Chains A and B, each alone.
Chain A
Amino acid sequence: MKCQHCEKPATFHITELIEPDGPKVLHLCEEHARGFLSQEAPTPMASVASALAKQLKLGQTKEELAELDRKACPVCGITFYEFRNAGRLGCPYDYTHFQKDLEPLLSNIHDSLEHQGKRPKRAAPSADRQAQAIQLRREMDEAVEREDYERASEVRDLLRDLETGDADPSDSSSTEEG
């Protein structure tokens, strides 16, 4: 028997039981099976893709979706289109930047929008401060790339100051949340 995705022999036979219309048997070669098995169950891409499909059905026009696809995060630079294709976000700030667009998706996947579980006892640095650290890291990499070592070293010092501040326990207070 040949693999469902290529010409190689199918050495893996996987019964997928999460399909809504009953069990589905997949016949795959080692390479394709490995890719398939390394995904979480249910496959994150499948969940994200189906949630996005529902979102489109629920009233977003193609033009609106095209506009959304071009939207980019100012911190990590990922576009919504890239996220849609990979099923993975680029940085923690994406949850803030794409909040309006992600919420229907989260609601489709989890049927909820509010975290109910534990929270770190120690207050995390603010989203702005974390975004600043990510941006500084990018700036440093860019400076190294264009061989502007003076700027790279300045940025590195700024980053170190920011990190030292983060790592200092006196900088954070107990919030007793959750």
Chain B
Amino acid sequence: MLQNEKLDELAARCGEWLKGTGPESDIVISSRIRLARNLGDFPFIRRCTPEDRQAIERTVSSRMEKLEGWEDVRYVNVAEVSELDRQFLVERQLISRELADAEGARAVAIDPSEQFSVMINEEDHLRLQVMHSGLDLTKAWDQINHLDDLLEGVINYAVHPKYGYLTACPTNVGTGLRVSVMMHLPALVITHQIDKVFRSLQKISVTVRGLYGEGSQFTGDFYQVSNQITLGKSEQELVEQVGEVVPVLIDYERRARQFLIDQSEQDLHDDVSRALGILCTAKKISSDETMHYLSKVRMGVNLGLIDSVPVKKINELFIHTQPGHLQKLHGRLLSSSDRNVQRASYLHDHLTQ
């Protein structure tokens, strides 16, 4: 396993889940599944001493190192890397904000294609995650299930005969499984239908969350659909539950996009083209504004109204213009106003190539 390799090389390229391919990738950005696991003979993280955390990190890393096929897996000692590197890993969705901000021994193992990562000493001792581009839940489940089998072969998990896998928070007990599908739903937002659609979903045990604002998460017209419960249903049932809701939302979004085109294709074309124009020509631009216009451009590309930029490039720009990535790519720390100038220059270079 590669130890604490420099993350600069990782910053310059694009993770597998951002490649913009996979089923329904015009609307579904990524499919993510995570499993929460704990070692049976240690307290949960909140009651761990610094020595316990070190012992967990050492135990897990030494056992993972012996796993077959793990020679190229990167191992990042999160406690030892810079704050900028931690921010970069959060933006890349390879670690959580909680792990970045925690104290004491903690780490993450990342496979070379960035399809899976294993966080050590997050809220649970282990958080396994698999991410794919587009709607690909079955493949993601098969992969994480295999990863879990490999790890349970060398680690004694905390398991209860009745409750299944034990977790620090009772909201994760049982399967420890959280399925999350990140969706881009700009037309539902423009047509003011988004709230109505999501209210109708509340009855069926899925959670939808929208984010807006500068931060380390996807923002703009992006919504995350995930399962609410983890106990009492099998992993396959939970995966299916989310998998059944997503096509309904895709259908709503497609209809809303068609509605916008039918109403006034010229207005829509003008709107997305202006957004691209601003991104190409601005001399300074905030993260919020970038997200806002990139979201419009992404829809324009998927509707065939803009053909000069591939969707993979747009997906990359969402990530590469975030503060941590921008500074990593620039090679030094930047103030907020310097970031705005640098962001505009980066967008210009990559959209006018």
Contact = CB atoms under 8 A, between A and B. Distances in A.
Given A33-B215, A124-B157, A95 B163 contact: yes
Nearest to A137: B52
B209 A90 contact: no
Contact of B44 (A30, A41, A89, A133): A89
Contact of B46 (A86, A106, A112): A86
Interface stretch (A9-17, A53-61, A62-70): A9-17
Interface in B218-232: 223-224, 226, 228-232
A72 B199 CA distance: 40
A45 to B, nearest CB: 9
Nearest to A141: B49
Interface string A123-143: 011010110011001000100
Contacts of B160: 92, 95-96, 115, 127
A137 B231 contact: no
Contacts of A111: 229, 232
User: What are the nearest 10 A-B pairs in CB distance?
Assistant: A112-B232, A115-B164, A133-B41, A92-B158, A12-B213, A110-B231, A38-B97, A130-B40, A90-B47, A117-B175
B245 interface: no
A44 B167 CA distance: 12
Nearest to A90: B47
B300 interface: no
B49 to A, nearest CB: 5
Interface string A85-122: 01111111001100000100110011111111111111
A37 B228 contact: no
A117 B41 contact: no
Contacts of A116: 174, 232-234, 237
B156 A166 contact: yes
Nearest to A172: B156
Interface in B64-110: 96-98, 101
A162 interface: yes
Nearest to A105: B170
Contact of B168 (A41, A88, A105, A130): A88
Interface string A75-90: 1111000000011111
Contact of B153 (A30, A40, A115, A122): A122
B141 to A, nearest CB: 11
Nearest to A43: B171
B171 A134 contact: no
Contact of A117 (B96, B174, B216): B174
B173 interface: yes
B231 A106 contact: yes
B101 A37 contact: no
7 contacts: A40-B169, A106-B231, A112-B233, A116-B232, A117-B174, A120-B159, A121-B149
A134 B42 contact: yes
Given A106-B163, A116-B234, A130-B41, A37 B174 contact: no
Contacts of B159: 119-120, 124
A112 B177 CA distance: 15
A127 B214 CA distance: 45
Contacts of B42: 91, 133-134, 137
B208 interface: yes
Given A13-B213, A76-B47, A102-B170, A120 B41 contact: no
B346 interface: no
Nearest to A91: B43
Contacts of A114: 162, 231-232
Contacts of B145: 118
A111 B228 CA distance: 11
Contact of A44 (B96, B97, B169, B207): B169
A113 B211 contact: no
Contacts of A133: 40-42
A158 interface: no
A130 B158 contact: yes
B202 interface: yes
Contacts of A20: 202
A58 B182 CA distance: 37
B152 A120 contact: yes
A117 B195 contact: no
Contacts of A113: 162-163, 231-232
B209 A124 contact: no
A129 B40 CA distance: 9
Contacts of B208: 17-18
A110 B169 contact: no
A22 B207 contact: no
B195 A22 contact: yes
A86 B45 CA distance: 12
A17 B44 contact: no
Contact of A37 (B97, B166, B172, B175): B97
